[in-house]
Structures are given as structure tokens and as C-alpha cells.
Structure 1
Amino acid sequence: MARESARLMREEQKKRDARRRWYWRGGIGVGLIAVAAIVAMVVVGSVKPPSPGPLNMASDGVLMQGDGTSITAVPTAATAADADPTPTDVSALTSTVNITVYLDYLCPYCGQFETTNGAQLSSWLTAGNITLETHPISILDQSSNGTKYSTRSANAAACVANYQPDSFVDVNAALFANQPTEGTDGLTNAELVSLVEKAGVTDASVSSCITDQEFGSWVGDATDRALAGPLPNTDVKNVAGTPTVLVQGVQYTGALDDAAAFEAFVMEQATATGDTGTDTGE
């Protein structure tokens, strides 16, 4: 009897062990399903749907012009979500030299170009000698300690283009005058709001646009388009670095800190294409 009892106890123990193994395997299966569901939710949540672009940036850039006394933005409709941008029709700009700049507000070389040439560009622009199309993009988000300053500052510029576009040149200059160093957090959203207000922005919608990052997704889309190319109105295939500066569609590859060299290049391209609106007044 003792042997039979022992045998029965061993068989019952085996059954209990088997049930535990099945429960354990089932638990793993349920756990894996739960993990997979969570991962799927995170992935789906991180893929943001395309969003409309800002007003006055149908080309992914804002085009500024001057009339001899002031600078204004050329108005355009907003690009619809999922729609391709509309390149600027440079054939309608035959009386000016057309300058296009792709930039990142955290890029020190962009800051160098602006510091060297910003006043000169503004002077030419006011006089009506050039048009200036600025494309803010974000290629240095990884260089601001996780705060995505490149995207946030480009969004701030887009907010100005959308709500108070004639202030864009002043805000662009202010962003570079207060440019943070790579590897820092950059300006907070509150500081960006203060910066644009000090630069002359009075429309309250710009503040909430910056805080809510209204055009953050669009900045990412516009950046992807610039990096993938092709760039319109030029033989340059894509943005390979910032700043990418185009004069009459020809890329400037000279020194970024040499205003005389840049002016000579602008005059060279103006002469090559026969434009007559290029007198710098010097």
C-alpha cells in the first residue's frame, strides 16, 4: 500500500508540474501578446499624420520682396496635408535676383552666414533688388539634448510666416542673434515667444502656435523633402548641409564669412542671367 500511495503521489505531482508549465507558457504567451500590443500602440502613436503647411509657405519657404521702402511676404495659400509644395514661379521674378536659403536655426554655419550677410541681404531686399526665399528645416535636433530645438525654432519661424509674415526677416535675424550653441538645450518655447515679440510680432496667435508647435509635423515633412530633393529651380539635387544658398538657382560655395565674396557671386549670377534689378547702390 505504501508503494502504491507513493506512486499515486508522484503521478499527482507530475500532473501539478505539467499544469504549472502550461500556465507559465500561457503567461508568457499572454505577456508577449500584451507587449506586442503596447509596441504597436507606441508605433502607431508616434507616426503623426501629415499636417497642413503654414500660409505663405506654399513652396516650403517664405518668399520676401521689397518695394524700395519696406519688406513684405508674397502671400500664398497653405499647402494641404498630403499635398506637394508648389515651387516658386521664378519666371515671374525677372526684375530681381532670386536668392534662396535652406537653413537650420541651430546650425553655426547658418549663423555665420546670417551675421556676415544679413544686413546686406536686408538692404538689397528693401531696395527691391532681390527676392529672398527662406526654408527653415531641422537637421540638428539631435544636438539639443532632446529638446528638438531645430524643429521648435523652425516651427516658430513658420508661425510668424503664417500669422504675421511681414515680420519674418526681423524674426529670422533675431533667431540668429540669439542662436544657442550646439549641445545645449536651446531656447525654451517661452523664450522663443519672447524673442519674436521683441522682434516686432504682435499677433497673439503666434504665441500659442509656438507653444503648441502647430507646424512641428510640417517642419519634419519639409525637412524630409529638402533632404530627399529634388530642389526646385536649380540643378542642385538636394540639401546636403546647411546653409544651402542658391543665387539664381546656382549654389554659393564660397566663404560664409566673406561678405565681399558673396556680393561678387550675387553680381556674377545676376550678370550671367541678364537681370537688371541687381544694383546694390555701391
Structure 2
Amino acid sequence: MSKGNRGRDRAAAKRIVEQQKAAERRRRVTIWTTVGVVAVLLIAGLVGWGVLANQNKKTEASQVNTPSVAVDEGTAFAVGTGPVTVDIYEDFMCPICHEFEKQTGSTITQMVTDKKITVRYHPVSILDRASNGTQYSTRAAGAAAAAAVGGKFLEYHQVLFDNQPEENSDGLDNAKLIELGTSVGLGDTFAQAVNNKTYDSWATKVTETFSSRGYDGTPTIVVNGKKVEGPNNTLPTTEVFTQAVTSAAG
């Protein structure tokens, strides 16, 4: 092979090598550009998701209709004007709550009449899981809120327990909840609130507050900030409850 041919071959080989290096540089630039674009899109997506999540939370918060007559951060309905505060957290599907009402309800009523206590009833909905998907606890709590706004909380509270459905049943439907309201003197405004689920989101908020306060079962009875229970975390008897109130009164 002549020197001229060898020179041309070397030049051609050099061009090929340079072309390959240039192609490799372009490939790297393309890869990193793609990575950069993906990263930007991912960050934008995360930021967008965060903004949307915050907007959803604000929307949910704005949709909570707190009953105008609710007390204790909008979580309860107060009865009485006595110096000792009794908080009762209850679920309208809870049979033990009904048991406490039957056992100690008349004593509580007398203490209210005697102006010894102020009772704050907190309707919670921890037993929605026990109503076959109908969310009875939430609906009943929401209906109780509507009754409170209508000035008939205690009366409705009583008929709800008098007609308490069994756990793991469908619970009472809205038509029955409205019928019970009618029986205690509630009218169209109450019925509309039940059918429109006006206070259902409020019931969820009350339940969340209940949990944030460290409670997890119903009924939970608290006298002047102190939880009252029977032996071994059992339901307090009327005597134990009365002693707690007497002690709190000093």
C-alpha cells in the first residue's frame, strides 16, 4: 500500500473516531436533557398535587356546617347551667351508651334540674362500620345536630335511644329519622337537613376531635376534665358517677 493510501486511511479513520465521539456527546446531552425534563415535570406534578391537596382540605373544611348552638369548639350541645361540667361522648348505635342512658339518665336529668351540672353531649360516629355501609352513626349524629338547631336535642336524643337499632344492622333510614323528629315536634327544616346531610360532615369532625383528645370508646364520660370509669375500665355505675360529680363540686 502506498504512503498516499495509508495517509488517506488514517484520515478516514480519524474522521470516523471524531464522528463517533460527537455522536456520543450528543447522546449524553440528549439523555441528560431528558432526565432534566422528567425531573422538572415530576417536581411540577408534586407541587401541583400539593396545591390541589391543600385546596381539597380547605374545601372540605369549608363544607363543615357547624350547628349554631354547638359549644366546646363546636363539638357538643349543652344542657343545664350547673358549675360542674359533664362531657358525654356517645354513639347512637352503641348499646352500652343506651345502657348508660337507661341506668343514669334520670340522675343526670335531676342534677341538671337542681343546677348542679352542665352536660355537654358529643354525638360521635365510631360505629359506622357496624351498619352495613349505611353510615348510620354519622347520619344519626347529623340528625341530632339538626334537632339541636331546632331546639329539640334532648327530646330527639331520647327517641333515638328508644329506637336504637342493633349493631351490624342497616340502622334506621332517613325516613325513620325524620319520622322520629316529627314525633318530637320537628318540621320541614329538620327533614331537609337530614335528607341533605347538612351536618354529616360535622359529625365526622366531632369524631376526629374525640380521637384527638385521646378517647377511643363510647360512652366516654368526663367530669370536670377527668374521665370517669368503673373498675377495670367498665361502665361507671350511677353511684360512681354521682361520687365523681360530688367530688368535682368540692
Answer yes or no: same fold by TM over 0.5: yes
Whole-angstrom distance in 1 between the partners of 2:229 and 2:187: 38
Query: Does the CA contact (< 8 Å) of 1:248 and 1:270 recur in 2?
Result: no
- 1:245 is the counterpart of 2:221: yes
- Cα distance per residue 1:195-250 (max 9 Å; x no partner): 1222x233421111111111111111221122123xxxxxxxx2221111111111
Please name the residue that 1:62 is paired with.
Answer: 77
Q: Which has the higher helix share?
A: 2
SS at match of 1:157: helix
Whole-angstrom distance in 2 between the partners of 1:258 and 1:228: 26
Q: Structure 2-normalised TM-score?
A: 0.70
Query: Does the CA contact (< 8 Å) of 2:181 and 2:187 recur in 1?
Result: no
Whole-angstrom distance in 2 between the partners of 1:169 and 1:62: 9
Please name the residue that 2:60 is paired with.
Answer: 49
- Cα distance per residue 1:162-215 (max 9 Å; x no partner): 2x23x21121122111111110011111111111222x2334211111111111
Whole-angstrom distance in 1 between the partners of 2:166 and 2:186: 28
Please name the residue that 1:201 is paired with.
Answer: 185
Whole-angstrom distance in 2 between the partners of 1:240 and 1:215: 22
Please name the residue that 1:267 is paired with.
Answer: 246
Structure having the higher Rg: 2
Please name the residue that 1:191 is paired with.
Answer: 176
Query: Does the CA contact (< 8 Å) of 1:53 and 1:215 recur in 2?
Result: yes
Query: Does the CA contact (< 8 Å) of 2:134 and 2:170 recur in 1?
Result: yes
- 1:147 is the counterpart of 2:162: no
- Cα distance per residue 1:37-73 (max 9 Å; x no partner): xxx9xxx9x987222311111421011116xxxxxxx
- Cα distance per residue 1:101-132 (max 9 Å; x no partner): 11111111111111111111112112322111
SS at match of 2:60: coil
Give the 3 Å change call, closer, same or farther, for CA 213–168 of structure 1 in structure 2: same
Letter in 2 for 1:61: A
Whole-angstrom distance in 2 between the partners of 1:225 and 1:243: 15
Query: Does the CA contact (< 8 Å) of 2:67 and 2:145 recur in 1?
Result: yes
Please name the residue that 1:126 is paired with.
Answer: 113
Cα displacement (A) at 1:260: 2.2
Instruction: State how 1:1-282 maps to structure 2 within 5 Å.
Output: 49-50=60-61, 51-59=64-72, 60-65=75-80, 96-162=83-149, 164-165=150-151, 167-198=152-183, 200-229=184-213, 238-254=214-230, 255-256=234-235, 258-271=237-250
Instruction: Give the length in aligned residue pairs.
Output: 190
Query: Does the CA contact (< 8 Å) of 1:112 and 1:256 recur in 2?
Result: no
Whole-angstrom distance in 2 between the partners of 1:111 and 1:197: 22
Gaps of 5+ in 1: 1-39, 67-94, 230-237, 272-282
Cα displacement (A) at 1:257: 6.4
Query: Does the CA contact (< 8 Å) of 1:116 and 1:257 recur in 2?
Result: no
What RMSD over aligned residues (CA atoms) do the two structures have, in Å?
2.2
Letter in 1 for 2:60: P
Whole-angstrom distance in 2 between the partners of 1:221 and 1:175: 21
Q: Percent identity?
A: 32
Query: Does the CA contact (< 8 Å) of 2:71 and 2:78 recur in 1?
Result: no
User: Stretches of 4+ moved more than 3 A in 1?
Assistant: none
Whole-angstrom distance in 2 between the partners of 1:52 and 1:155: 10
Letter in 2 for 1:176: F
Please name the residue that 1:32 is paired with.
Answer: none
